[in-house]
Structure 1
């Protein structure tokens, strides 16, 4: 293997063709995430691999591991898991905010079995369903010192488990809290139970490229969650595509603060740095959700000479308001993804800091990243160029016929990062996987509307389900949101369709405002009417909220806005009927209006009114279903 074969030049869009002239199979990629870590430890045993901060206020008291130390801890933890009965096809659930020991625990779970990260903020029912789907009998979780609420949740799930392994806070000192006995479940601290295990090697079966590495849950905060399976080949290939970036060399420092139950945290800030011996500095357990982090952020960048970071747009909107009180010349660029980047956020952050925001695009079903931008070759209006060896096309949303370049349709992806399917069950040998309608002949339907340029740059046009369809005319909500975000007092905006008896849907918007803002909802309606490019897209109403709803990983949650818009529209339509109450619920990704009628209201007249709207409805009368 030569450096040229592993690391081709990849600094500008024109490099893509030369990279793909060499087959990916000739890039000498490691067979698994474990082999990737082994290689890093062999090449840079004494170089810093991870630095984890206990919390923002104590960022000068981190816990550090070299690549050699990281591998040793992974061996200890994996050998413990093996002794507990975990084998190649067995899932190990991990439910904890980020901490120093969660990083090696995650890699150890992929070595001994299959990692199944969980968001502890999900409902008890969702977590129980995810455990059932994964079949995990071992849970690695935050203990009472690290995250008391997560620990309480773990105890409620313990009846479905055989073993609960507990994590302490980063840099915890002194004797740990005594753990309660749980009937029929082995409970103990991970580090203590693993201390006596072999640190030099793993005693079990090593993973190969086709083995499953992880099961990541997808979906928002409602509806049945799904488990997307990743192979080791998926994760290694995507991590290499990210690490191939010529703008970050060996030894560069990256900042990590997204939760490890999110693929971006795993692939971008844990696996990709292993390729070049890069140092990852991890924020405390709250990550970007810790308010105190923002007051210390630029000093952390200066101290660690951070070269790159990855976050969602809302983080950069906040950082654009934080005085730059340190030397941040080391920060070459900042990566942004997970949701569309408003132009106002880009301009505000770059003007304030002098740091270029580099957009990317990806989804869990394609492992993580599928497109990247170039700080020295900006392409406004795009989320970047497709990554090497990933193929993209745009198809008609109904016929799946491929559309010509420049036309908007549904984006599909194929290549080495496309997942093998969702977990739908398990037989006596392995997981049963199914694409559930998203996979066809190796192509992944992303559900995103997009158009492609000839050189592989991607223009997103929203989610298929987010389109506002007014009288058969498709309206991209982004054009409304971008117009509102040009208002100096608007900090965030979300546009959705509100049911309408004449047009099917009409656009409405929700915004948040700066502290002390004076703009009224009527002012904002007028502002948007003057600036939205299409007259039909001008929002009919604007509602000011304290915060826009987001999913647990910070993505805008449009379904909640659509539910509110539906409730308002149906309540307005039924206002002539005294005593009628209206709500809107989200069920499996669909908004349903639920109406409760007093006994003296003529139900047939209510149904006639509702019949003018294309909204699923459910009627009940007071006192009876």
Structure 2
């Protein structure tokens, strides 16, 4: 009995000493430290970022993502004792939370009254501190968004600084407020508290950039999304991110499926990737670029993750680009080895592509041969070591090399690090609502950045089951696949989505919650068709390969038809004036998702980094008061006619409104008198110059916008991504008009 008492006293004394150490380390009271210690030990909490800003100069508002029942207890333990905590009714009445509620002042949250009270403004003006707990919704509804407006208004009136706080991993603890099917529970996962530096509402609004600053509520909303992004671990390789997802969501969880080889769990995916990775390691050098010439099947993901595990960069080769472009890509990225499949090459009739690659100096490695040579010991070792990377891992090393579409010229190699790719996936996760309860259908090829990041990496590292289909051009088959696979999310382009709708039955896409569209503008008819027939909203975004690729996106809470949405969290923009364009300017971007740099054919294998971390997108845009971006067109997609800049994209929109069932491309060709003139390349039969002039006048278009030449084609040239191939379209126009190929 005496011994037991002595042990208990000893443990208590040790607890007090540890609490005293925590109190000194964190600058909090002893009672706070005493109650914080069990959380610190059980969840191995990284609190360094909160510690750095917790005692920011008052007045200050701590705006906390409320993910679990632990959040109020953690904040009551860690924030200064004089902080007034605004708790929801459950937290205010919870019996287990009683010891923590005694650590500071609390009031009960009442959405109808508390935020219209002037009391909070008075508290803040008296150098006070407030902690507000916001619902964990990346796409808040109207009622929830009122809280952002209220907090923004209070902060502005009191001149208070705002400190966003996000507890990374909080969604997965027992006590999470997220349904289990969306966030599987784990016992004592490691938690990390992300807290951003204090900023006033005025400072948040001012830094939004552009000719007009965004509203205070949107500035606060964006800052909260940045805190969510800050809670993500971006300093991982692609392999490590997929491995961590396997451990979080369960190694036996089915994560990817295709129409050829069936379904793979995380464990089988990583086991197979390790087998391939060991073979890739033996035939290449560390950091070397290895070509991947494969369609959307399980094999392409096995190769991608295997290369990441082995410390090699995967150069995703566009097999629709033609022999000359593939040869150029091989030389540009200094590729010595290309991974492919004999069955794929034969079925897709790519013998000329293979020949061009070999002539460019690379050799083909066939997956069929690799698999046939794998022995039982290799399989056993891979099964035991599936969690372990083969080579040293670094988030900043090149992970993927993609090639620009070449829609306006010679393709360049875009080098993306693991950090860029993971950042972009997590930026999307902080803006668009999806979860492991969803199912994603990806028909976009992974040699395209949209299909790679959005359609493969994002679901893999977020536990979203993925169904891969090898070609977006199978317009009749894909609706049938959707009817069987029952996806809730789908990726596509306007061209492809319009084609699927023409062949689909009304119930083929009925399982979809939304469709993410990019690469080209979504036509109003396409949006209406998918909304009316399938009940699916098309979420339009904007991206470019150099941004890995998504830069802006619409969402349920922040969506506006005709725009490409608002910038993703963590990104910054600036616009530069363009001569001849009155509204908007040339868009420049900065952010954690930007590429490492280019490789070009004249400097093969040599990385050319961004000069100052800013990327010239080459797009002309305008930005409204709420941050929505409207694309006027590529700078190269403007015609300069008699000194005036005319958007070729706007011309296409005008023509499409008149003949929506056909495809159109407006191109600029040389004109001796006015510098350039606009020619319309179209699949429509009834379009001629006179018809264009009549309809243009009826639409109120300026005379200078109306094409004065028409070239009719049976089929619009497209790139593998589904974009219009403007190089080919302009070539058709030049040849048809007898202008040659100059200029």
Counterparts of 2:547 and 2:508, CA distance in 1: 37
How many residues align? The count is 530
Q: CA 1:21–1:204 in structure 2 vs 1: closer, same or farther (change >3 Å)?
A: closer
- 1:52 paired residue number: 258
Counterparts of 2:601 and 2:653, CA distance in 1: 43
Q: CA 1:558–1:424 in structure 2 vs 1: closer, same or farther (change >3 Å)?
A: closer
Question: Which has more helix, going by share of residues?
Answer: 2
- 2:320 paired residue number: 121
Deviation at 1:520, TM superposition (A): 6.2
- 1:363 paired residue number: 544
Counterparts of 1:292 and 1:167, CA distance in 2: 29
Deviation at 1:115, TM superposition (A): 0.5
Gaps of 5+ in 2: 1-44, 47-64, 69-134, 141-216
The counterpart of 2:695, out of the listed 511, 519, 527, is 527
Deviation at 1:351, TM superposition (A): 2.9
Counterparts of 2:353 and 2:605, CA distance in 1: 26
The counterpart of 2:714, out of the listed 546, 554, 564, is 546
**C-alpha contact 2:319 2:353 (8 A) present in aligned 1:** yes
Q: CA 1:323–1:410 in structure 2 vs 1: closer, same or farther (change >3 Å)?
A: same
Counterparts of 2:414 and 2:711, CA distance in 1: 36
Tell me if 1:100 matches 2:274.
no
- 1:588 paired residue number: none
The counterpart of 1:9, out of the listed 137, 148, 151, is 137
- Greater shift, 141-150 or 210-219, is seen at 141-150
When normalised by structure 1's length, the TM-score is: 0.77
The counterpart of 2:740, out of the listed 558, 565, 583, is 583
Counterparts of 1:206 and 1:47, CA distance in 2: 27
- 2:526 paired residue number: 345
Gaps of 5+ in 1: 55-61, 169-187, 572-581, 585-591, 593-615, 617-625
- 2:599 paired residue number: 423
- 2:413 paired residue number: 227
Pairs within 5 Å for 1:458-607? 458-487=629-658, 490-513=661-684, 522-569=690-737, 571=738, 583-584=740-741, 592=742
Tell me if 1:432 matches 2:606.
yes
Deviation at 1:191, TM superposition (A): 5.9
**C-alpha contact 1:499 1:566 (8 A) present in aligned 2:** no
Deviation at 1:483, TM superposition (A): 2.3
Tell me if 1:450 matches 2:621.
yes
Deviation at 1:103, TM superposition (A): 1.4
Q: CA 1:562–1:143 in structure 2 vs 1: closer, same or farther (change >3 Å)?
A: same
**C-alpha contact 2:689 2:707 (8 A) present in aligned 1:** no
Counterparts of 1:156 and 1:479, CA distance in 2: 38
Pairs within 5 Å for 1:329-344? 329-344=510-525
**C-alpha contact 1:5 1:27 (8 A) present in aligned 2:** no
- 2:492 paired residue number: 311
**C-alpha contact 1:29 1:237 (8 A) present in aligned 2:** yes
SS in 2 for 1:101: helix
Query: Highest CA radius of gyration, 1 or 2?
Result: 2
- 1:577 paired residue number: none
**C-alpha contact 1:320 1:353 (8 A) present in aligned 2:** no
**C-alpha contact 1:450 1:459 (8 A) present in aligned 2:** yes
The counterpart of 2:309, out of the listed 105, 111, 134, is 111
Counterparts of 2:681 and 2:356, CA distance in 1: 37
Tell me if 1:78 matches 2:262.
no
**C-alpha contact 2:548 2:593 (8 A) present in aligned 1:** yes
Counterparts of 1:276 and 1:239, CA distance in 2: 9
SS in 1 for 2:503: coil
**What do the CA deviations read for 1:470-525 (whole angstroms, capped 9, x no partner)?**
21122122332222222356422222223333322233322223xxx766664455
Deviation at 1:138, TM superposition (A): 2.0
- 1:288 paired residue number: 472
Q: CA 1:499–1:221 in structure 2 vs 1: closer, same or farther (change >3 Å)?
A: closer
Deviation at 1:256, TM superposition (A): 0.6
Tell me if 1:205 matches 2:205.
no
- Greater shift, 322-331 or 62-71, is seen at 322-331
Deviation at 1:426, TM superposition (A): 12
SS in 1 for 2:303: helix
- Greater shift, 220-229 or 418-427, is seen at 418-427
Counterparts of 1:562 and 1:164, CA distance in 2: 34
When normalised by structure 2's length, the TM-score is: 0.66
Q: CA 1:138–1:323 in structure 2 vs 1: closer, same or farther (change >3 Å)?
A: closer
Counterparts of 2:731 and 2:362, CA distance in 1: 40
Counterparts of 2:415 and 2:620, CA distance in 1: 24
**C-alpha contact 2:432 2:555 (8 A) present in aligned 1:** no
SS in 2 for 1:491: coil
